[in-house]
Amino acid sequence: MKSPKLITWCIALLLGLLGVLLKLGVLAIVGLPFALSSFWVVAAALVLLLLATILPGL
């Protein structure tokens, strides 16, 4: 296992923060489908970080 690249880590961090802000109601995105809830945004960030630690070059 290795550490992810800085850009991958920053993207995952921004996705995680976006999910938290959506959950807290601080941020509302008009036209955002209900299926793309805050849970799935945070889950995508975690999956991105997991893949970045497993796959080389990500």
**What is the rounded average pLDDT of the residues 1-9?**
89
pLDDT at residue 15 tops 80: yes
Tens of pLDDT, residue by residue over 33-54, are: 665 688 888 999 999 999 999 9
pTM (2 d.p.): 0.80
Mean model confidence pLDDT for the chain? 86
What pLDDT sits at residue 28? 74
Quote the pLDDT of residue 22. 84
- The structural domains of the chain, with segments of one domain joined by +, span 6-54
Nearest Cα residue to 23 out of 36, 38, 34, 45: 38
User: What sign has the CA pseudo-torsion 31, 43, 17, 49?
Assistant: negative
